[in-house]
Chain A
Amino acid sequence: GAGVSQSPSNKVTEKGKDVELRCDPISGHTALYWYRQSLGQGLEFLIYFQGNSAPDKSGLPSDRFSAERTGGSVSTLTIQRTQQEDSAVYLCASSKGLAFSYEQYFGPGTRLTVT
C-alpha cells in the first residue's frame, strides 16, 4: 500500500518568504507527527496531531511556524517569514494511533533551504 508522502521534496526559498510543506499520511492512520533535522543535529519533534487536533504546540520553534490537518488526513506545515536557521529536512510520520506501542512510518522528507 501507499506510504507516507511529502511534497515538495526540495524547496529553496528566499529569506522572508512563506513556505508550505505538505504531508499525506497512510490511509487510516489517525496520528501524524512533524519533525525536523537540522544539519548535524538529531530529530527534533515539532508537533503531533490526533485526528485534526494538535493539543500541544509547544514544540514549534517560534510563532512563525504553524500546522494544520484537515479531514483527519493531509497536514500542512507553514513557515512564515523564513529565516536561514529554518533550513533543515522536515519529516512527517504517521501511526495507527498515539499509543506507545505503535511504530511511526516516515515520509521521504522535504529539504528546505533558505537563502
Chain B
Amino acid sequence: ILNVEQSPQSLHVQEGDSTNFTCSFPSSNFYALHWYRWETAKSPEALFVMTLNGDEKKKGRISATLNTKEGYSYLYIKGSQPEDSATYLCAFFVDSNYQLIWGAGTKLIIKP
C-alpha cells in the first residue's frame, strides 16, 4: 500500500519567522511529487510539481526541495505572513493508474 506522510500535522508559527515541514513518499517508481496549498473556504491550489532528484523550486517566499532516493521533500516558508495560513498538501504520482496519493497535510497557522 502506497503511503504519503506529512509532518507535523499542524504548526503554529509567529509572523515573520521562517518554517519548514516534511513530506515522505515511496522512493521507488518515482515520477513526480506535487505540493498544493489549501486555504480555508477556497480550493486547493498547486504550488510546485517536482520531478527531478535534487530539484529545488521557488515561488516568492516559498520553496521546496526534493530527494527521490530517500523519499522526502521539504517545503520552506521564509518570513511567514498571515496569508500563509493554510493546509499544505503533498501528493505522490502513481504512474500505474495516473493517480495522486495525497498526504493528510500540514496545517500552518501564522500568529500575528
Binding site for B on A (CB under 8 A): 3-4, 31, 33, 41-43, 45, 48, 50, 55-56, 59, 91, 93, 98, 100-109
Q: B46, B49, B95, B100: which contacts A45 (Cβ < 8 A)? A: B100
**B91 — which chain A residues lie within 8 A by C-beta?**
43
- Distance A91 CA – B31 CA, assembled complex (angstroms): 24
From A91, A100, A107, B95 is in contact (CB under 8 Å) with A100
Q: Is B102's CB under 8 angstroms from A91's CB?
A: no
A17 to B44, CA, bound (A): 29
The distance in angstroms between the C-alpha atoms of A105 and B103, with both chains bound, is: 18
Please indicate the chain A residues that have their CB under 8 angstroms from the CB of B51 in the complex. 100-101
Size bracket, chain B contacts = 20 to 34
Please tell me if the beta carbons of B43 and A98 are within 8 angstroms of each other in the complex. Answer: no
- A103-B49 in contact given A42-B105, A59-B99 (Cβ < 8 Å): yes
Q: Contacts of B100 on A, CB cut-off 8 Å?
A: 33, 45, 104
Q: Please give me the residue from chain A that is nearest to B87 by CB atom.
A: A42
Q: With the chains together, A36 CA to B42 CA distance in Å? A: 15
Identify the closest chain B residue to A41 (Cβ): B104
Give CA–CA (A105, B44) in the complex, Å. Answer: 8
Whole-angstrom distance from the CB of A75 to the nearest CB of chain B?
A: 16
Question: B residues within 8 Å of A by Cβ?
Answer: 31-32, 34, 42-46, 49, 51, 89, 91, 93, 95, 97-105
Contact of A106 among B43, B49, B104 (CB under 8 A): B43
Task: List 10 A–B pairs whose Cβ atoms lie within 8 Å, in order of A's numbering.
Answer: A31-B98, A45-B102, A56-B97, A91-B44, A100-B93, A103-B46, A104-B34, A104-B46, A104-B100, A108-B43
- Known contacts A103-B49, A106-B43; 8 additional CB pairs below 8 A are A42-B89, A42-B102, A45-B100, A45-B101, A98-B98, A101-B49, A108-B42, A109-B43
- Are the CB atoms of B89 and A100 closer together than 8 Å? no
Whether the pair B49, A91 counts as a contact (CB closer than 8 A) is no
Interface pair B43/A101, CB less than 8 Å apart: no
The minimal Cβ–Cβ distance linking B42 to chain A, given in whole angstroms, is: 8
Q: Taking CB as reference atom, which chain A residue is nearest B44?
A: A106
Please report the C-alpha to C-alpha distance between residue A100 and residue B103 in the assembled complex, in whole angstroms: 17
CB <8 Å contact, A91 and B99: no
